[in-house]
């Protein structure tokens, strides 16, 4: 059993390389059952203009009680009815957000042998990966990823972060610092909405010094049969919350509300917030992504 956990049960295929090979049909391992396949626009029961709520986060801590109360009310409603929302005016530099996107695109466009230096294993999943789980013959998603630990500091190992592009380690550190700071503010807002002390949830997750924070970058290569597969299968996130930086040019995230999948339309310079399994109020809604 320990040997199984130390390595993948079969050779790992990089989806980006598979897509670049010019195949016209995707391998059977990536084909999802009909009930799990992406939906066409005509399959949606909700109007296409429906979107998850967008919240002006600056108002949550406004000295204007009217603005603050309205922002908190909107956040409470979003958490209760959707489990997802977007935040704008969140305090993270737009230039940093743009730079991080470009830097990771540059990483995934590096030669595969360079990326392979950071190939991960099922031990911690840290590094460059293309699958989750160790079941032999398991169904696979049409995506590659990079995963790393950022907090607590005791788990942080910058040697496992890419050295190329040259700006990567410095930018990941800055981005991690700013997003963790945003996460702390979101925890305070959640606590306030639950009638708790402002620091209750943050302290419950270890406080500022010991809160857990990981970074996962998903790369979805172009797919010759996007109607048969998904970039990420339907799932809920196991942590407290996920702070997602989307690609503003590609609407690939769907969230489930009632019995319908809703395609999220990213607002400019926004983060998408997903309430995780450890902070449930009172609905828990799954998400998925599909390739193009």
Cβ–Cβ < 8 Å for 265, 51: yes
pLDDT given for residue 39 in this prediction: 66
User: What residues of the chain score a pLDDT lower than 50?
Assistant: 1-4, 42-44, 281-285, 292
pLDDT given for residue 284 in this prediction: 44
pLDDT given for residue 290 in this prediction: 53
pTM above 0.75, yes or no: yes
pLDDT given for residue 292 in this prediction: 44
pLDDT given for residue 42 in this prediction: 41
| CB hemisphere CA count around 133 (13 angstroms) | 8
Non-local (6+) Cβ contacts of 124 within 8 A are: 149
C-alpha closest to that of 231 among 213, 214, 250, 249 = 250
pLDDT given for residue 45 in this prediction: 52
């Amino acid at each position: 059993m320990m040997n199984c956990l130390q390595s993948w049960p079969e050779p790992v295929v990089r989806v980006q390389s598979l897509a670049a090979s010019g195949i016209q049909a995707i391998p059977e391992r990536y084909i999802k059952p009909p009930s799990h396949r992406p939906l066409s626009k005509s399959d949606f029961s909700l109007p296409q203009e429906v979107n998850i709520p967008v919240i002006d986060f600056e108002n949550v801590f406004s000295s204007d009680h009217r603005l603050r109360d309205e922002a908190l009310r909107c956040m409470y409603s979003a958490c209760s009815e959707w489990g997802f929302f977007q935040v704008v005016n969140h305090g993270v530099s737009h230039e940093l957000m743009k730079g991080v996107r470009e830097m990771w695109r540059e990483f995934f466009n590096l030669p595969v042998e360079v990326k392979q230096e950071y190939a991960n294993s099922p031990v911690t999943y840290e590094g460059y990966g293309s699958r989750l789980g160790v079941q032999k013959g398991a169904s696979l998603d049409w995506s590659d990823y990079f995963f790393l630990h950022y907090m607590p500091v005791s788990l942080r190992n910058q040697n496992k972060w890419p050295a190329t592009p040259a700006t990567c380690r410095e930018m990941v550190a800055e981005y991690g610092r700013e997003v963790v700071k945003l996460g702390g503010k979101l925890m305070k807002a959640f606590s306030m909405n639950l009638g708790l002390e402002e620091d209750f949830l943050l302290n419950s997750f270890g406080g500022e010094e010991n809160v857990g924070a990981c970074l996962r970058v998903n790369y979805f290569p172009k797919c010759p049969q996007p109607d048969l597969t998904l970039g990420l299968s339907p799932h809920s996130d196991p942590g407290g919350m996920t702070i997602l930086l989307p690609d503003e040019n590609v609407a690939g995230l769907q969230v489930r509300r009632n019995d319908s999948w809703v395609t999220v339309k990213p607002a400019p310079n926004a983060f998408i917030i997903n309430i995780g399994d450890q902070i449930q109020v009172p609905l828990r809604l799954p998400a998925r992504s599909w390739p193009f």
